[in-house]
Amino acid sequence: GFWNPPSRSWQPLADDYRRPMSQGFRMARKQATPDLLKLPVPAPETLQ
């Protein structure tokens, strides 16, 4: 999941990110070679 600041709660990730997250955990455990991952990153908010 991911932290949603406006709602101050954890939200489930879309199924599209399940495989990249698993791959990232394998890379962190050095069980897979480092590679680029598709991860959810929120767009920056504009300041007013």
Q: What pLDDT digit, counting tens, does each position of 1-48 carry?
A: 888 888 999 999 888 888 888 999 999 999 999 999 888 787 777 766
Q: Let me know if residue 8 belongs to a domain.
A: yes
Q: Let me know if residue 14 belongs to a domain.
A: yes
Gap between the Cα atoms of 41 and 48, Å rounded: 22
Contacts for 20 with CB less than 8 Å, ≥ 6 apart: 37, 38, 39
Contacts for 43 with CB less than 8 Å, ≥ 6 apart: none
Q: Let me know if residue 1 belongs to a domain.
A: yes
Range of the domain at 28: 1-34
Number of domains the chain contains: 1
Angle at 5 between CA 46 and CA 11, to 5 degrees: 125
Q: Let me know if residue 39 belongs to a domain.
A: no
Nearest alpha carbon to residue 45 among 5, 17, 12: 5
pTM over 0.85: no
